[in-house]
Every structure is written in structure tokens, then in C-alpha cells.
């Protein structure tokens, strides 16, 4: 049998039956009467033969690139300038320096544990002392403001307590004014009607963290934040405001409001915008999320320069 090679590459496979017949025919001697079929003759020595062919086909598909530009207006109908800036930064380019540790991570997001904390209530703790050998009949402790006027008074009979905490509130329930100096006078009267007065040292609270009507108040003296009479933040002012952002992040669902007082209305307006912009930028918030209010209020002392209050509204804890 003669098999010619076709033009395309094929693989010929003989079945087991065909191979067996071929083996038997091959083992017989042609002299014994077995004849091979010649080309063109009918019949075959191989009773069964199956030919299988495989043809491999490869298909190359080219995929086109699909690109589109992110548009802040198309993503959110209430987009802000901050949204547009965030969408314009590639995630890879934005994270690459920090992933490869090529530069120090100077983000404003982690807590700034090295910054001084604001004073909290109680704002002061007094430790009255009893003269040795004296039998006290009654005592009193009076906190006075910078004018020497009584602001808050405590009194009692017999021995004075070892320590006395003051929450910063005055007799009428108003909070002390940050930045203003306060002092105190401790008075004791013994059973012989002898009176002993002890004048304490003056102290001031530059920044105070307290609660009022369900809000958390972060109040700072104006001279702690700004150059006197200007809208430029000082280095200490940036530190106080940065510390304020750490407190604000503890209440992520509470609205923020900035209230600024100054002797001139335009100065109060400008300072309020500066503080709100600083907080928004530090916390990566749209500027419009930080509300502002400004008040014109004369200072009672010449060296004072207004105040700034960051109000975190509706605080639960």
C-alpha cells in the first residue's frame, strides 16, 4: 500500500485492528500463497484502517484600549473643588512614595501626640492648707478675675477639704474667659475670730476643652492663634488648631462650627475664614462643611486679642 503525503500536514493513526492485521500479514511468507495488494487492485490485506487528522487553528485577537476621564461633576452633582482635586490625582502616583518609603509620611491624619493638650474640666485644683495648731471655725475660697472681682466662691464649716476642684464656671454659670488672668484668695477663721487670708498666684488658661449644652467646645485665646490685630496664624496657633483636628476626628458625625470674636467685625470675619480653611484642609474636607460665625466684641484688657471657638455640635459621649 502506498500513501502519499497531502499538501497540509496530517497525522495518520492506525487502529489496533489494522495494526494486528498488518502484523499477521507481514509475518506470512509470500511464497505460501499470500499476495500483497498492488496499487490499483481491489481488496486489501488490512481489513480495517482508520485515518484521523488534526488541524490546529490559532486566532489572534487585538483588544482596543478603553479610556475615560473622571469628571467630578459627572460623579457627584454636589461636587466641590476638593472633589476635583482628589479625582485628579492618580492612586498609584499618590501612594507610590509612601509604599516605597521614599519620603517621610507627613500626613495630618495621624494623632499629634507630641502637641500639648487643651485644659479640661476641672480647670484648676486648689489645696487649702490649715495652719498648725489652729482650730478652724469656717473657711472660704474665692476665685477672682483680672479686675479683682469675685468670680466663683466656695465656703464651708470646720476643716477645709484637702483639695478643691474648680470646673471653670462662674456664679452665673458662665465659663471663664480663655487668655484672661484669674487668681484666688483662701480665707480661714478660727474659733478665736482670727482671720487668715492667703492670696494665690495668678493663672490663665490659653485653651480650654469643655462641654456646653450637648456641644464640645474647643476655645482658644486670640493672641495664642494670631499675630496681634492680623489674620496671620502664628506657629503656636497652628499647633493649637492641629490639636483641635485630633479632637474633631473623634466625632466624625458631628457638624463643625467656628465662632470668632474680635474688636472689629471685618477682622473677625477674616479670622473665621482662616480658621475654617485650616481645619478643612487639614482634615481633607470641603470648605463648606465648616460653618463660621463672627462677632464684634471689645476686649476688657488691652493685651487681649479676641477668641476663637471650634464648636463640635451634638456630641454624645
Q: In this structure, are 242 and 169 located in the same domain?
A: no
Q: In this structure, are 300 and 227 located in the same domain?
A: yes
**Contact (Cβ atoms closer than 8 angstroms) between residue 160 and residue 130:** yes
- What CATH number is attached to the domain comprising 173? 2.60.40.4070
Contacts of 252 (CB under 8 A, 6+ apart): none
- What CATH number is attached to the domain comprising 295? 3.30.1330.60
Contacts of 95 (CB under 8 A, 6+ apart): none
Residue at 117 is within a domain: no
Q: In this structure, are 199 and 218 located in the same domain?
A: no
Q: In this structure, are 176 and 220 located in the same domain?
A: no
Look up the pTM and report it.
0.63
- Compute the distance between CA of residue 109 and CA of residue 282 in angstroms, rounded to an integer: 8
Q: Say what the alpha-carbon torsion angle 141, 144, 149, 151 is, to the nearest 10 degrees.
A: -80
Q: In this structure, are 139 and 200 located in the same domain?
A: yes
- Compute the distance between CA of residue 229 and CA of residue 118 in angstroms, rounded to an integer: 24
Residue 191 burial (C-beta neighbours within 10 Å; 0-12, 13-18, 19+)? exposed
Q: Which segments of the chain does DSSP mark as H helices, in order? A: 16-27, 72-75, 81-87, 91-99, 222-225, 235-248, 265-282
Residue at 266 is within a domain: yes
C-alpha to C-alpha distances, 1 to 22, 41, 269, nearest whole angstrom? 11, 10, 107
In the chain, the number of structural domains is 3
Q: Which residue range forms the structural domain that includes residue 29? A: 1-55
Q: In this structure, are 200 and 212 located in the same domain?
A: no
C-alpha to C-alpha distances, 241 to 50, 212, 257, 268, 279, nearest whole angstrom? 89, 20, 13, 17, 7
Q: In this structure, are 42 and 132 located in the same domain?
A: no
Q: In this structure, are 197 and 130 located in the same domain?
A: yes
DSSP 132: T
Q: In this structure, are 130 and 33 located in the same domain?
A: no
Per-residue pLDDT of the chain (317 residues; tens, 9 = 90+): 444 444 444 444 444 444 444 444 444 444 455 555 555 555 545 555 555 656 666 667 676 665 656 565 555 555 566 666 555 544 444 444 334 433 343 445 677 777 888 999 999 998 876 666 667 788 899 999 988 899 999 998 877 788 899 999 999 999 999 999 999 998 888 877 788 888 888 899 999 999 998 999 999 999 999 999 999 999 999 999 999 999 998 888 899 999 999 999 999 999 999 999 999 999 888 898 899 999 999 887 767 899 999 999 988 76
Q: In this structure, are 234 and 199 located in the same domain?
A: no
| Residue closest to 203 by CA, chosen among 241, 239, 177, 231 | 177
Grid cell locating 193? 475670730
Residue at 71 is within a domain: no
Residue at 165 is within a domain: yes
Phi/psi region, residue 229 (left: phi>0; alpha: psi -120 to 50; beta: rest), is left
The domain boundary, picked from 188, 204, 220, lies at 204
Q: In this structure, are 291 and 241 located in the same domain?
A: yes
Amino acid at each position: 500500500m502506498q500513501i502519499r503525503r497531502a499538501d497540509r500536514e496530517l497525522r495518520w493513526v492506525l487502529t489496533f485492528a489494522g495494526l494486528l492485521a498488518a502484523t499477521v500479514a507481514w509475518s506470512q511468507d509470500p511464497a505460501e500463497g499470500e499476495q500483497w495488494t498492488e496499487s490499483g487492485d481491489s481488496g486489501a490485506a488490512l481489513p480495517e484502517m482508520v485515518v484521523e487528522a488534526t488541524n490546529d487553528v490559532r486566532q489572534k485577537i487585538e483588544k482596543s484600549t478603553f479610556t475615560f476621564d473622571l469628571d467630578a461633576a459627572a460623579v457627584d452633582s454636589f461636587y466641590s473643588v476638593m472633589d476635583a482635586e482628589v479625582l485628579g490625582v492618580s492612586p498609584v502616583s499618590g501612594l507610590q512614595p509612601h509604599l516605597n518609603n521614599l519620603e517621610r509620611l507627613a500626613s495630618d491624619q495621624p494623632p499629634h501626640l507630641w502637641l500639648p493638650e487643651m485644659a479640661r474640666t476641672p480647670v484648676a485644683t486648689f489645696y487649702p492648707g490649715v495652719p498648725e495648731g489652729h482650730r478652724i471655725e469656717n473657711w472660704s475660697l474665692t476665685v477672682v478675675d483680672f479686675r479683682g472681682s469675685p468670680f466663683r466662691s466656695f465656703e464651708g464649716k470646720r476643716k477645709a477639704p484637702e483639695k478643691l476642684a474648680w470646673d471653670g464656671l462662674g456664679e452665673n454659670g458662665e465659663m471663664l474667659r480663655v487668655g484672661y488672668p484669674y487668681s484666688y484668695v483662701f480665707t480661714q477663721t478660727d474659733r478665736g475670730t482670727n482671720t487668715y487670708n492667703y492670696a494665690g498666684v495668678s493663672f490663665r488658661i490659653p485653651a480650654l476643652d469643655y462641654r456646653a449644652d450637648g456641644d464640645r467646645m474647643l476655645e482658644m485665646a486670640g493672641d495664642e492663634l494670631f499675630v496681634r490685630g492680623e489674620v496671620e496664624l502664628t506657629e503656636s496657633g497652628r499647633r493649637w488648631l492641629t490639636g483641635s483636628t485630633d479632637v474633631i476626628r473623634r466625632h466624625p458625625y458631628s457638624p463643625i462650627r467656628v465662632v470668632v470674636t474680635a474688636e472689629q467685625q471685618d477682622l473677625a470675619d477674616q479670622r473665621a475664614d482662616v480658621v475654617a480653611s485650616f481645619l478643612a484642609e487639614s482634615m481633607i474636607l470641603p470648605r463648606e462643611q465648616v460653618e463660621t460665625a463672627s462677632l464684634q466684641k471689645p476686649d476688657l484688657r488691652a493685651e487681649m486679642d479676641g477668641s476663637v471657638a471650634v464648636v463640635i455640635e451634638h456630641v454624645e459621649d
